[in-house]
C-alpha cells in the first residue's frame, strides 16, 4: 500500500513515534512520515506525558487506521507475514511478545527520569534508584535474549518487534551516559548502528522545533 502514512509527534522527543517508524520499516511497508506540529496543545501534552496510551503514532493504510505501537506491530505482522516480525519458534515468539508488552506498559521510572532526547548528551548524568532498577532489568532482559538466541538481535539473526520496542532505550542510554556491561553494551551499539535507527536520529538532529520543558538540565 504505497499510500500508507505514519503520523508522528516528534523525531527528537517521541519514543513511541520512533517505535512506530521502526515497525513500519521492519515490515517492508512503503509509507510516508507526517510530523504534527509541536505547537498543537494535544501534541505537546502527549510528548510531556510520555505515555504509551496516546494516539500518535497513528498508521493510516487506506480506510484502516491503527494507533498504539503494539496494535501497529500486530497489524503489520498480520498484513506482512513475509517480513517475519515475530520469531518463528513458538518459545521465542512468546518471549518476544512478552518483553515487547513489558516495554510498552512498564519502566515508568525510566520514562519519567530519562525522557527521550535524541540530540542531547548528558555526560555524568545522576541516576536515581528508580531508573537504576529499570536499567538493571532491561540489561537483564537483553542479556537473557542474547544468550539464549545468540544475537546480534534479541532473537537471533534478524530484527523483530522487540528490537523496535527497545530501540528508544538504546538512545536514552546514549543521551544519559548510562554505563552498561557486555553484552548489553554491544547490543546498544548494534541498535544505534541499525540503518533505520541511524536515519531517524539524523532526522531528529535536523528537527527545528524544541520543547523547553524537555530541554531542561535535570
Least confident among 29-43, 109-123, 124-138, 197-211: 29-43
pLDDT at 107: 96
- Percent of the chain exceeding pLDDT 70 equals 86
pLDDT in tens, 103-137: 999 999 999 999 999 999 999 999 999 999 999 99
* Mean pLDDT on 85-108: 97
Q: Quick one: cell of 166?
A: 527497545
Tell me what the mean pLDDT of segment 5-10 comes to.
94
pLDDT given for residue 1 in this prediction:
42
Q: How far is CA 101 from the centre of its chain?
A: 12
Q: Does the structure show a pLDDT above 90 at 67?
A: yes
Question: What value does the mean pLDDT take over residues 71-78?
Answer: 97
**Can you tell me the mean pLDDT for 45-55?**
58
How far apart are the two ends of the chain, measured CA to CA in Å?
Answer: 44
Indicate the pTM of the whole model: 0.91
Q: What is the dihedral of CA 165, 149, 170, 198, to 10 degrees?
A: -80
Query: Mean pLDDT over all residues of the chain?
Result: 91
State the pLDDT at residue 53. Answer: 53
Is the pLDDT reported for residue 217 higher than 50? no
Q: Which long-range contacts (CB under 8 A, 24 or more apart) does 192-197 make?
A: 194/22, 194/159, 194/163, 194/167, 196/21, 196/22, 196/25, 196/26, 197/22, 197/167, 197/170, 197/171
pLDDT at 36 (0 to 100): 81
Domains, the chain, ranges and CATH? 4-83 (3.40.30.10), 90-201 (1.20.1050.10)
The CA radius of gyration of the chain, in Å to the nearest whole number, is 16
Residue 50: is its pLDDT beyond 70?
no
Is the pLDDT confidence value at 43 over 90? Answer: no
Amino acid at each position: 500500500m504505497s499510500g500508507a502514512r505514519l503520523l508522528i509527534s516528534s523525531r527528537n522527543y517521541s519514543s513511541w513515534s520512533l517505535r512506530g517508524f521502526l515497525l513500519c520499516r521492519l515490515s517492508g511497508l512503503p509509507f510516508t512520515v507526517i510530523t504534527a506540529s509541536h505547537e498543537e496543545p494535544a501534541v505537546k501534552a502527549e510528548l510531556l506525558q510520555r505515555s504509551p496510551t496516546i494516539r500518535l503514532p497513528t498508521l493510516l493504510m487506506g480506510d484502516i487506521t491503527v494507533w498504539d505501537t503494539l496494535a501497529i506491530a500486530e497489524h503489520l505482522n498480520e498484513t506482512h507475514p513475509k517480513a517475519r516480525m515475530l520469531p518463528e519458534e513458538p518459545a521465542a515468539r512468546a518471549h518476544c511478545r512478552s518483553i515487547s508488552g513489558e516495554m510498552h506498559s512498564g519502566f515508568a521510572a525510566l520514562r519519567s527520569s530519562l525522557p527521550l532526547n535524541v540530540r542531547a548528551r548528558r555526560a555524568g548524568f545522576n541516576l536515581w534508584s528508580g531508573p537504576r532498577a529499570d536499567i538493571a532489568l532491561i540489561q537483564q532482559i537483553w542479556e537473557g535474549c542474547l544468550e539464549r538466541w545468540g544475537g546480534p538481535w534479541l532473537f537471533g539473526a534478524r530484527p523483530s518487534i522487540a528490537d523496535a520496542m527497545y530501540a528508544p532505550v538504546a538512545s536514552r542510554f546514549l543521551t544519559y551516559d548510562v554505563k552498561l556491561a557486555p553484552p548489553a553494551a554491544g547490543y546498544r551499539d548494534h541498535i544505534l548502528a541499525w540503518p533505520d535507527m541511524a536515519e531517524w536520529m539524523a532526522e531528529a538532529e535536523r528537527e527545528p522545533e524544541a520543547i523547553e520543558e524537555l530541554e531542561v538540565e535535570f
